[in-house]
Homo-oligomer: A and B are copies of this chain.
Amino acid sequence: MSASQDDIESFQEKHNPNSDAHLPRSVPSLGKRSDWRLKSFVTLALTILTSSQAILIVWSKRAGKYDYSVTTANFSVEALKCAFSLAALVRIWKKDGVTEDNKLSMSFDEVNVYPIPAALYLIKNLLQYYIFAYVDAPAYQILKNLNIISTGVLYRIILKKKLSEIQWAAFILLCAGCTTAQLNPSSDHVLQTPFPGWMMAIVMALLSGFAGVYTEAIIKKHPSRNINVQNFWLYVFGMIFNLIAICVQDYDAVMNKGFFHGYSFITVCMVFNHALSGIAVSMVMKYADNIVKVYSTSVAMLLTAVVSVFLFSFHLSLAFFLGSTIVSVSIYLHSIGKPPR
């Protein structure tokens, strides 16, 4: 279930083509209440999509069908999101005509930052192949919780948004709680991680956090710009950089076996699910922020474990109960600890 969170990150940012297609347009005139409802809706969507995604991954692994190329799947997701964005834009153009905010073309000054998040994810994903020389997969899952801290720190530094003291405490607790929930008898391995492993884990966390925060900065810099246009450009560069990843990692396999080798019904479901949750992430970036995204994916991780109890008769550990309690308290503290405006 935890493999998913990493996959999600490698699929950058997104948009929802149907139900929400004309939301961005009306956002500036929305009241506080609608704002709050939209924020809640996209957060809930992200949480549900992320956890169902993780469940699909567990399911596909259990069915023994995990022999497709991850890089081609990543590319397919980017392409699908791009198609969704275009479809949504066509609908909007038909309804409202082409305006300054929903036209596809952008000035070079605006578009030149769009490749950065995709490039950061590419570097992070390439690093991932090297870190496994130092840590095993379960230890890597534990180390990935450093993302939470890096996102918080970069959110503060780059977006210059303030978290209150209580919210900082809550964020440390979120990290500790997620890690606690994932503890298992072999987790102590992680403490023996050699120095280069720690360094790489920290660099990867910084890359991932930076990509997320940078995406938010790009999307929020032009609040009136239609989210589908912003997504279109993010996903175009996502496609390009994932193409590079295919060439670096899977060129031979794709040439010999074909692009869609090993794809099953579950794989297609996963690609669609990833595309939709990618769009949900974009929506959260537009209408909420990275902090909400981190909370949302953390809750999704817990939700996945609970659902897995029923679907795959997993057992919940005491560590999971403790971790969930700590994450719940963290969410509560985050909500009551709003900084004074």
Q: Which residues of A contact B (CB under 8 A)?
A: 142, 165-166, 169, 172-173, 176-177, 179-180, 183, 185, 187-188, 190-191, 315-319, 321-322, 325-326, 329, 332-333, 336-337
Q: Which residue of B lies closest to A139 (CB)?
A: B318
Chain B neighbourhood of A169, CB < 8 A: 329, 332-333
Q: Find chain B residues with CB under 8 A from A319 CB.
A: 180, 183, 187, 319
Question: What is the total number of copies of this protein in its complex?
Answer: 2
The 3 A-B pairs at the shortest CB distance, nearest first, are namely: A185-B185, A176-B325, A176-B322
Contact A318 B142, beta carbon cutoff 8 Å: yes
Asked if A318 and B183 make an inter-chain contact with CB atoms under 8 angstroms apart, the answer reads yes
Given contacts A165-B336, A318-B142, A336-B166, contact A329 B179 (CB under 8 A): no
Complex contacts, A166 vs chain B, CB 8 Å: 166, 333, 336-337
CB within 8 Å for A326 and B173 given contacts A183-B318, A318-B188, A333-B333: yes
Name the B residues within 8 Å of A315 (CB-CB): 188
CA gap between A60 and B287 in the complex, in Å: 61
21 sampled A-B residue pairs with Cβ under 8 A: A142-B318, A166-B336, A166-B337, A169-B329, A173-B329, A176-B322, A176-B329, A177-B326, A179-B322, A180-B322, A185-B185, A187-B318, A187-B319, A188-B317, A190-B318, A191-B316, A191-B317, A191-B318, A319-B319, A326-B326, A333-B333
Q: Chain B residue with minimal CB distance to A326?
A: B176
Which residues does chain B contribute within 8 Å of A173, judged by CB atoms? Answer: 173, 326, 329
Measured CB to CB, the nearest residue on chain B to A179 is: B322
Alpha-carbon separation in the docked complex, A319 to B177 (Å): 11
- C-alpha gap A69/B205 in the complex (Å): 55
Closest CB-CB distance, A47 to chain B, in whole Å?
A: 22
- Alpha-carbon separation in the docked complex, A54 to B24 (Å): 61
**Closest CB-CB distance, A303 to chain B, in whole Å?**
19
